[in-house]
Amino acid sequence: MFTCRNQPCSASWEQSEAVIKNEGQGLLFRCPMCGARNYVDRIEAEDGSVVYEQLDGRPFL
């Protein structure tokens, strides 16, 4: 579950709802509601599955 870092928005999203891409400054998804950038980290498990963890403390605009 992701939570939009844009405080007035603060919407929650399932990973399947967030489109994760790299815009040149690292992986992020744009909040489908407000468009704010939310940075994530890509974590690959030993079984090859990939999960994304939201990063704290990154600017969202």
Q: CB 58 → Zn ion: shortest distance, Å?
A: 14
Asked if residue 9 binds Zn ion (CB under 5 A), the reply is yes
Neighbour tally for 38: CB within 10 Å: 21
Which CB atom, from 12 or from 49, has the smaller least distance to Zn ion? 12
| Choice from 2, 4, 13, 29 touching Zn ion (CB under 5 A) | 4
Task: Give the up-direction half-sphere exposure of residue 7: CA atoms within 13 A in the CB hemisphere.
Answer: 2
Asked if residue 18 binds Zn ion (CB under 5 A), the reply is no
Maximum pairwise Cα distance, the chain: 38
> Interface with Zn ion by CB under 5 A: which range of 15-23, 26-34, 42-50, 51-59?
26-34
Contact between 44 and 52 (Cβ < 8 Å): no
